[in-house]
Amino acid sequence: MPFSFPMSRASGVFVFAVSALCSANSFAAQNSAQNTLDAAPHLPDLSSYNCANVAPSTTSETRHIGQVVNSRYYEWNEFYVLAGEKQKLACIGLMRPEPKQLTGDEAKAFLTSAFAVGSPASAPARAQSGPETTLDAPAPDPDNVKPEPLKRATKPPTPGTVPSGQVEQKSSTQDSPPVPAGKNFDAAPTLPSAPTPSKERSQSTPSSALEKPAPEKTLTVGVDDRSQIASTVVYPWNTLAYLNTTYPNGDSYRCTATIVSPYVVMTAGHCVHNKDRGGYIASARVYPAQNQSVLGDGTPIRPYAMKSDVQQAQTTSMWTQISGQDSYPATTYRHDFAAIQFKTPFTHTGTFMPILYGSTSTPVTSAGYSATVQNKTVYGLYAQSGNESNTSFSSYHSSHIREFVIDASGGNSGSPFFYVDQTTAQRYLVGSLSYGDDLDDQAGGPWYDSWNQDLVSAWASWTPTGTPTGSVSGLRVASAFSSSMEMVQSYLRFYNSGTTAGTIDVTIADYATGAILGTWTSPSLAAGVARQFSIQDVEDNAGSTFTKLPMYSLSVRPSFSGTFQNILWHKDTSAMTNITVCDTPTGAKKTLIDVHSSLVSTHPATIVIHNTGTAAAAISLGIYNAATGQRIGTYPAGVVPSNAQKITTIAALEQTSGISPGNSIYYYNIKSDTTFTGYLQHWLHNKSANIVADMTTTCTMTP
């Protein structure tokens, strides 16, 4: 069996062209979606499940999905085929945390957990755990907590013209992926989360500059079709939350958020950053599954109390530059999405809506905490389904925006758009609400697709630093191959060059997400002693139980001076190669030379980007013709999480960058265009000998 590299999304493992989900542009379809909102999800038809028979020519639909399942982030493709006139699931190909095709039994078990199949129809109200929980959280004060004013969208301008004072950000498949920006709440003091009216009036900002949102319009054309969700404590409604934020200028606003993992909620960018209010929010309070009596406008019902221990708030860097306006060109809202990350987990649910990337389905459903519904002030959860607008279908798709015929009002900002599969009743998170017009019954916002997929998945898979316990200080090592690999395995060699005995701590992390898996401590090594340990020794004695991944990122912390090596053993040939690369001055490379292009098919190259920094980084690489030094392209690697690696074959790099070696470019030089903490690594696979060698290390020459 040939050696198989663990691949990233860019490499194309299990990736076929994502086909469009079936569209249903009729009121019947809209009503059908509305009628299935409370249905319990169930498994798809698995009677044709057989990964061996899946090929692009036979696949009727491919869904690319990311979801936290059993507290771990997974990403996978579902391949469907038509059997008769019925669509059936034919194969699931995992991409994260490890590339793997699931057997039929594995697929059934996996989807049962992912879909919450068999979950009870109702759930008891119970509080969050942890010091940030407040069972007697006060009701929001309408004079103090305002609904986030509904953003507006200007229609596409006539070609060659731009509305006065606004900049239309053109979008195409060549758009650079969104770059994250954020605030760490441990690094700056925060204001009280519920300022008094007198505090708001005492701001030193001139009164003419204070935020004065226009009164919310309460009349709509036609009928306000939103309906209240009666029971919010069952899935998926328990993954939605009332969001209350406070800004540095003292103003408090309400939005809607979607809980996508035990630690993360997603919302609109304008719910976490506004330049006119002082920039990033100073604090946030989240009330999962908030509701109120169906019979009246009484005090909000908060079955899971409040959560406010914010670690970070993140949005896109473009949104931080332009935030504060009341309206923008519709396509600009592709930057208007955000995540709020918490120090302790949500404990009231273990099931989260899967994120479906690149969906073109309609109708969709939106649910949120509107301030007014049917001309009444409300604090409950309201939902509505709607088809895509004609303008959206014709003008917005290439700009990563979609718009629907759905009612919206202040407080709906950040509400999810989700698609309901009519055959399984499963809900798929596909986008979020950024703008609306209650007079035209329109609401739209950013769509989750290949353009923002790396950033969205990085947010959904985020966990607090140091969870689980462990440290990523010390020597940072890339590409340690696990014992689960069939053909190769890493061996770690340590040499104590000091004068006293000591031990080494090795922390293992998920290579794709940076999440810490466990820490191993070596036996004592006497002075002058060198020892070798298999990666299996490290895995089996790391102090925790975890699923073995194809490879790991390591941090090595010795108590003595010495040297370290990562030796790759090729099990079939018993050959050994040295693939040692780390972030020492001689190893922290940002330039790779003479990287084989795809023309050198006998020795294909692979590039590893290792982010050893403390925050996720958006990274791009410049590609140069090694023979001439001429720059020929850019590889947008996207967002690489902290303590994680992005891996791509040279063929995938060429395809993503849109470059071709032609008949003459056999070698590239590759340089980082981005300043980041970490390094690049260059593998070479000798296919005839089935051996992988590291080609990264160079020697410094001085005149």
Residue among 600, 690, 687, 653 at smallest CA distance from 11: 653
Q: What is the pLDDT of residue 79?
A: 95
Q: What is the pLDDT of residue 180?
A: 85
Q: Three-state SS string across 436-472, please?
A: EECCCCEEEEEECCCCCHHHHHHHHCCCCCCCCCCCC
CA distance 438 to 19: 33
Picking from 9-13, 72-76, 282-286, 494-498, which range would have the lowest pLDDT averaged per residue?
9-13
Confidence of residue 121 (pLDDT cuts 50, 70, 90): very low
- Specify the 3-state DSSP secondary structure of 650: helix
Question: Which of 142-146, 580-584, 616-620 has the highest average model confidence (pLDDT)?
Answer: 616-620
Q: Which of 622, 631, 620, 627 is nearest to 674 (CA)?
A: 620
Torsions phi, psi of 32, nearest 5?
-65, -40
Residue 282: is it exposed, middle or buried by C-beta count within 10 angstroms (0-12/13-18/19+)? buried
Q: Using pLDDT thresholds of 50, 70 and 90, give the confidence band for residue 98.
A: confident
DSSP secondary structure string, 28-97? Answer: HHHHHHHHTTTPPP-----TT--GGG--TTT-SEEEEEEEEETTEEEEEEEEEEEETTEEEEEEEEEEES
CA distance linking residue 34 with residue 36, whole number of Å? 6
Question: How many Cβ atoms from other residues are within 10 Å of residue 376's Cβ?
Answer: 12
Take residue 101 and report the two structure tokens written for it: 């095709």
Contacts of 663 (CB under 8 A, 6+ apart): 599
| Residue 185 to residues 173, 280, 311, 420, Cα–Cα distance (Å) | 35, 10, 5, 36
Mean pLDDT of 103-120: 81
Contact 77, 92 (CB under 8 A): yes
Element of type H or E holding 622:
strand 617-625
Q: What is the mean pLDDT of residues 577-605?
A: 84
Residue environment code for 629-667, b if the CB has 16+ CB neighbours within 10 A, otherwise e: eeeebbbbbbbbbbbbbbbbbbbbbbbbbebebeeebbb
- Sorted by sequence, the CB contacts under 8 Å of residue 275 that are 6+ apart come out as 320, 323, 324
C-alpha–C-alpha distance, residues 78 and 45, integer Å:
12
Q: Which of 34-43, 126-135, 202-211, 616-625 has the highest mean pLDDT?
A: 616-625
What pLDDT is stored for residue 134 in this prediction? 37
> Can you give the pLDDT at residue 17?
24
Q: In this model, does residue 222 exceed pLDDT 90?
A: no
Residue the block writes with tokens 């690149």: 358
Residue 127: is its pLDDT beyond 70?
no
Three-state SS across 96-109? ECCCEECCHHHHHH
User: What Cα–Cα distance (Å) separates residue 682 from each residue in 266, 391, 607?
Assistant: 36, 46, 5
Looking at residues 166-187, what average pLDDT do you find?
64
Cβ-based neighbours of 281, under 8 Å, separated by 6 or more: 183, 245, 246, 247, 271, 272, 273, 313
- Residues 385, 30: contact at Cβ < 8 Å? yes
Q: How confident is the model at residue 214 (pLDDT cuts 50, 70, 90)?
A: very low
Question: pLDDT at position 700, please?
Answer: 61
Q: Which amino acid is at 497?
A: S
Mean per-residue pLDDT, 648-656? 93
Considering only residues 551 and 14, tell me which one the structure prediction assigns the higher pLDDT: 551
pLDDT of residue 481: 93
Q: How far apart are CA 309 and CA 290, in angstroms?
A: 18
Selection from 409, 406, 457 nearest residue 429 by Cα: 457
Distance CA 579, CA 305 (A): 51
Region of residue 279 (left: phi > 0; alpha: psi -120 to 50; beta: else): left
Q: Which two tokens stand for residue 59?
A: 């696949």
Flag whether pLDDT at 170 surpasses 80.
no
Residue type at 221? V
Given a cut of 80, whether residue 420 has pLDDT beyond it is: yes
**591-694: which CATH topology?**
Hypothetical Protein Tm1070; Chain: A (2.60.290)
Cα 226 from Cα 213, distance rounded (Å): 24
**What pLDDT does residue 527 have?**
85
* Whether 302 contacts 126, CB under 8 Å: no
pLDDT at 684 over 50: yes
- Whether the upstream peptide bond of residue 288 has omega within 30° of 0, thus cis, is no
Q: Which of 98, 230, 91 is nearest to 517 (CA)?
A: 98
Are the C-beta atoms of residues 337 and 266 closer than 8 Å to each other? yes
Confidence of residue 511 (pLDDT cuts 50, 70, 90): confident
Give the tens place of pLDDT for each residue, 296-310: 556 788 998 889 989
Residue 176 DSSP label: P
Higher pLDDT, 323 or 71: 323
Average pLDDT over residues 516-527: 88
Mean pLDDT of 60-79: 91
- Per-residue confidence (pLDDT) for residue 296, from 0 to 100: 55
Query: CA 42 from chain center: how many Å?
Result: 25
Return the pLDDT at 119.
52
Share of the chain above pLDDT 70, in %: 79
**221 pLDDT tier (thresholds 50, 70, 90):** very low
How big is the CA angle at 51 (ends 48 and 54), to the nearest 5 degrees?
85
Q: What is the 3-state secondary structure (H, E, C) of 338-356?
A: EEEEECCCCCCCCECCCEE
Question: Domain 475-578 adopts which CATH fold?
Answer: Hypothetical Protein Tm1070; Chain: A (2.60.290)
Closest C-alpha to 286, from 345, 233, 245, 247: 245
| 179-193, 421-435, 635-649: least confidently modelled range | 179-193
> Which whole number is the average pLDDT over 200-227?
41
Tell me how far apart the alpha carbons of residues 324 and 327 are, in angstroms, rounded to a whole number.
Answer: 9
Per-residue pLDDT at 619: 92
**pLDDT tens sequence across 442-469:** 899 999 999 999 899 989 988 875 444 4
What is the per-residue pLDDT for 205? 28
Checking if the pLDDT of 168 tops 70, the result is: no
What residues contact residue 150 under an 8 Å CB cut-off, 6+ apart? 216, 408, 409, 410, 412, 413, 435, 436, 437, 438
In this structure, what token pair is assigned to residue 611? 């982010």
CA distance 441 to 418: 18
Using the structure block, give the residue that is written with the tokens 């996996």. 110
Question: What predicted TM-score, i.e. pTM, was given to this entire model?
Answer: 0.61
CA distance readout (Å), 463 to 68, 188, 284: 11, 20, 18
Model confidence at 206, pLDDT cuts 50, 70, 90, reads: very low
The full DSSP string for 567-613 is EEEETTTTEEEE---BSSTTT--SEEEEEE-TT-TTS-EEEEEEE-S
Task: With a cut of 60, say whether residue 599 has pLDDT above it.
Answer: yes
What are the residue ranges spanned by the domains of the chain? 9-115, 475-578, 591-694
What's the whole-number average pLDDT of the chain?
Answer: 80
End-to-end CA distance of the chain: 48
Contact 372, 382 (CB under 8 A): no
Tell me how far apart the alpha carbons of residues 215 and 392 are, in angstroms, rounded to a whole number.
Answer: 27
pLDDT of 204 over the 50 cut: no
Where are any strands of DSSP class E within 511-589?
516-521, 530-534, 551-558, 562-570, 575-578
pLDDT-wise least confident of 80-84, 245-249, 648-652: 80-84
Q: How many CB atoms lie within 10 A of CB 523?
A: 10
State the greatest distance between any 2 C-alpha atoms of the chain, in Å, as a whole number. 84
Q: Residue 538 — very low, low, confident or very high, per pLDDT cuts 50/70/90?
A: very high
State yes or no: pLDDT of 124 exceeds 80. no
Q: Which helix (H) or strand (E) holds 242?
A: strand 240-246
pLDDT band at 20 (very low <50, low <70, confident <90, very high): very low
Spatial CA neighbour of 458 closest among 512, 537, 501, 407: 512
Most confident of 120-129, 322-331, 521-530: 322-331
Q: What is the pLDDT of residue 201?
A: 27
